[in-house]
Structure 1
Amino acid sequence: MFHRYVSSAACLTFLVAAAQLPEAVVAMIDAAIAEGNPDTVEAVMALAKKTNPDDVAEVDAMLAQYRVAQAEAAELAAAAKQEEIRNAGLFDRWSGEGQIGAFQSSGNNDNVGVNAALKLKREGIDWSHQLRARVDYQRSNGNTTREQYFAAYEPRYQIDDGLFAYGLAQYERDRFQGYTGRYAVSAGLGYRLVKTDALRLSVKAGPAYRVTEFLDGTDEKNLAALVGLDFDWSISDSLTLTQDTDITAESGGSATAIVDSSNTSLNLITGLQAKLSDRLTTRLSYTIEYDSNPPVGSVSTDTLTRFTLIYGF
C-alpha cells in the first residue's frame, strides 16, 4: 500500500485524497507502488488523471506525496551507503580484474611465453586505492628473451569533483633494458577533465624520485618529474557478436612519462576490450616503452602487442 512509503504525517493527506477517488483507481495506484518502479507509478498516475478528469487535484496530491517519500527514501539509502563505506574494513570493498595470456610453439623454433596481470581497486568516499602488478616472460630456443616485472601502488584523495591529489610507489625489473631494479616514488595533483558514460579522461603531474640499479652493479639516483594521463572510451554499448554473446568494445589506456636529468622514460598503453560475459573480457593491447638513454647494448624503444583474457571480480 502507498502509506508504507510515506511518513506518518503524510498518511492523512493520502487517505483523504484516496477516499475521494474510485476504489478501482486507488487499487491500480497501490499495485503500481507495490511493484516498486517509479516510472510505472508516474505512468499510472498520469493515466488516472486522464481517465478521471474530475479527480486531477486528488491524484496530484497523491503524486506529490509519493515523490516526497521517494526523495526521503533516497536520502536515507544514500546516508546508509556512506555509513557502510565509512565502517568498511581494510580488506572490504576491493574489486579488480586478473588477466593472463600464453603461447607455445615448436618446430624450427621452440618458443614459450606467458604474461599475467592483476589490478585491484578500492573506492571510498574521499580516498581510492589502486594496486597493479604485471609479469611478462618469454623463452626462445632455450634462451630467455623477455623477462619483465612491474608493480605499483597509487592512493588518491578527491579534493573536489575534478581535482585530486595522488601518491605513487612503483617498481620495475627488466634486464633486457639494462636494469635489475628501478624504483620510483611520486606525489602531486591531478584533474579529471572529462567524466561521462562514454569517455573518462584525467591528467596528473608532480615531482618524483627515481633509483635505478643496473646490471653491472652500479646505481643511479635522480630527482624527476612525472606526467600521467588515463583515459577510457566506450565505443559502443552493445554489439552482437553471436546469438548468445554480446561484445562491448572499449579503447582505453594510460601514458606515464618520468623525466630526470639523465633519462626520460615513457610508458604508453592502448587497448581494445571486448566483453564476452558479465565477468569475462578479451583485450588486445599495444604497449610502447621508451628510454631516452638506455644502457650500452640496449635499444631505446620496446613495443609489445598482447591478446589476453580478463576476469573481473
Structure 2
Amino acid sequence: MSRLLLATAILVAASFPAPAAAALPAPVKAMIDAAIASGNKQDVLAVVKISKATNPDDLAEINSLMTDYNARLAEQAEAALREKQEAGFFENWKGQGELGGFRSTGNTSNLGISGGVKLVKDTVEWRLNFQARANYERNKGKTTRDQVNATIEPNYKFDKSLYAYGLAQFERDRFQGFSARFTLSGGLGYELVNSKDIRLAIKAGPAIRITDFIGGDSKSSLAGLVGLDFDWKISDRLKFSQDAGGTYASDAQGFTSAVAVIDSDNTSFTATSALDAKLLGALSARFSYSFEHDTNPPTGRIKTDTLSRATVVYDF
C-alpha cells in the first residue's frame, strides 16, 4: 500500500512544473540600467553592490548585466585605442583659447591685455604639447610691456608612467632686458600619480639657453631644467593644477606652471598658478597669478615680475 501511495505522489508531482525563479525586480533593473547609461563606472559598481546585497536570489541576472557592461567597456576601449593609432597628424587635437586682462608688478606696474592658446595631441606612444602667450600693456601713450612666450614639447611614452621629453621655448620681454631668449632641453619625466582627479609628474634634463640682450650682446650657456606637473580636479566645475618645468596637462582646463632653468650665471624661475571655474558649456573663468624671477637680470632691471590675470577660457 505504501508503495502505491509513493508512486501516486511521484506522478502527481511530475504533472505540475517546478516554480520559476523570480525575475530581477523591475525597479532594481531600471536602477542598474540608469547607472550604466550615466557612463560613470563608480556609480555602476555602487548600484550593483547594493542590488546584490538586497536581492541575493538574483545574483545570476545581476552578474549577467555586469558581464554585458564590461564587454561594452572593453569594446569602447579597443575602439578608442584603434582611433588613436589610425588618426592623422591633424586629428584628435584638444586645446583652449584664453583672453582677458592682467595687472603687473615689478619692472612695470600697470594694467594690460593677456591672451594665450594651448594645444595637446595625445596618441598611444606620443604626446605633443604646444603653448603660446602674449601680454601687452600701454601707459600714457607708451608701450610698457610687450611679452611673448611660445613652447613646444613632444613626449615619448615608454609606459604609463615613464616618458622622454624634448622642449623648445622662445621668449621675448624687452622690459626684462632681452629681445629673444631660446631654451632647448631634453630628458626624462615620470608620472608619480595619475588618477581620475589628480595627476602628479616630475621631469628633469640638461638644457641650452641662448639670450639676445637689448643692447645687442648675446650669450649662450649650458643649464639644467627641473619640472613638476600637478593637476587637481576639485569638482566637476572647479579645477586647480600645478605644472613645473613646462609639462602641460592634457585635459586643458586651467593650470599652474613653473619652470626652473638653472645655469651658473642666471637662474630663471617662472610659475603660474590658476584656478578654473566652469561657466557655461566650454567656457570657464580663470584667475591666475604668475611669478617670474631671474637671479641675475640685465643691468637696470629688477629681479622679480608678477602678473595677476582674470581671463575667459574656451575649451575646444
Cα root mean square deviation, aligned: 3.0
Q: Please show how residues 24-103 of structure 1 align to structure 2 within 5 Å.
A: 25=23, 28=26, 32=30, 35=33, 37-38=35-36, 39=44, 42=48, 46=52, 49=55, 56=57, 59-102=58-101
Instruction: State the alpha-carbon separation in 1 of the partners of residues 59 and 291 from structure 2.
Output: 62
Q: Please show how residues 286-297 of structure 1 align to structure 2 within 5 Å.
A: 286-297=289-300
| Contact residue 290 and residue 307 of structure 2 kept, 8 A | yes
Instruction: State the alpha-carbon separation in 2 of the partners of residues 191 and 279 from structure 1.
Output: 30
Aligned with 1:295: secondary structure?
A: coil
Name the CA shift for 1:70/1:292 in 2 (closer, same or farther; >3 Å): same
Aligned with 1:262: secondary structure?
A: coil
Partner of 1:170: 169
Which stretch of structure 1 is more off in the superposition, 222-231 or 273-282?
273-282
| Contact residue 96 and residue 120 of structure 1 kept, 8 A | yes
Instruction: State the alpha-carbon separation in 1 of the partners of residues 54 and 29 from structure 2.
Output: 13
Partner of 2:10: none
| Contact residue 207 and residue 223 of structure 2 kept, 8 A | yes
1:205 CA displacement: 0.4
Say if 2:306 is the partner of 1:307: no
| Contact residue 28 and residue 44 of structure 1 kept, 8 A | no
Aligned with 1:25: secondary structure?
A: coil
1:98 CA displacement: 0.9
Gapped regions of structure 2 (runs ≥ 5): 1-17, 37-43, 104-109, 243-255
Instruction: State the alpha-carbon separation in 1 of the partners of residues 20 and 26 from structure 2.
Output: 11
Gapped regions of structure 1 (runs ≥ 5): 1-18, 51-55, 105-110, 239-246
Partner of 2:107: none
Please give the per-residue CA displacement for 1:277-308, whole angstroms capped at 9, x wherever unaligned: 23111111111111122112212111111111
Partner of 1:192: 191
Say if 2:265 is the partner of 1:267: no
Name the CA shift for 1:36/1:263 in 2 (closer, same or farther; >3 Å): same
Name the CA shift for 1:166/1:20 in 2 (closer, same or farther; >3 Å): farther
Please give the per-residue CA displacement for 1:209-249, whole angstroms capped at 9, x wherever unaligned: 11111112221111111111122234x426xxxxxxxx525
1:112 CA displacement: 6.7
1:69 CA displacement: 3.2
Name the CA shift for 1:269/1:34 in 2 (closer, same or farther; >3 Å): closer
Higher-Rg structure is 2
Q: 1:266 is matched by which residue type in structure 2?
A: F
| Contact residue 100 and residue 116 of structure 1 kept, 8 A | yes
Name the CA shift for 1:28/1:249 in 2 (closer, same or farther; >3 Å): closer
Please give the per-residue CA displacement for 1:91-150, whole angstroms capped at 9, x wherever unaligned: 11111111111489xxxxxx7731101111111122111110000010000111111000
1:25 CA displacement: 2.9
Q: 1:248 is matched by which residue type in structure 2?
A: L
Q: Please show how residues 71-220 of structure 1 align to structure 2 within 5 Å.
A: 71-102=70-101, 113-220=112-219
Instruction: State the alpha-carbon separation in 2 of the partners of residues 302 and 120 from structure 1.
Output: 26
| Percent identical residues | 40
Equivalent residue for 2:279, pick from 249, 254, 276:
276
1:35 CA displacement: 4.6
| Contact residue 29 and residue 45 of structure 1 kept, 8 A | no
| Contact residue 228 and residue 254 of structure 1 kept, 8 A | no
Aligned with 2:74: secondary structure?
A: helix
Name the CA shift for 1:270/1:43 in 2 (closer, same or farther; >3 Å): closer
1:267 CA displacement: 0.7
1:74 CA displacement: 2.3
Name the CA shift for 1:146/1:184 in 2 (closer, same or farther; >3 Å): same
Name the CA shift for 1:214/1:20 in 2 (closer, same or farther; >3 Å): farther
Which stretch of structure 1 is more off in the superposition, 112-121 or 63-72?
63-72
| Contact residue 102 and residue 307 of structure 2 kept, 8 A | no
Q: Structure 2 length normalisation: TM-score?
A: 0.76
Q: Structure 1 length normalisation: TM-score?
A: 0.76
Name the CA shift for 1:96/1:254 in 2 (closer, same or farther; >3 Å): same
Aligned with 1:164: secondary structure?
A: strand
Q: 2:292 is matched by which residue type in structure 1?
A: E
| Contact residue 264 and residue 293 of structure 1 kept, 8 A | yes
Partner of 1:243: none
Aligned with 1:151: secondary structure?
A: strand
Instruction: State the alpha-carbon separation in 2 of the partners of residues 296 and 195 from structure 1.
Output: 44
Q: Which has the higher contact order (CA 8 A, sep 6+)?
A: 2
Which stretch of structure 1 is more off in the superposition, 125-134 or 35-44?
35-44
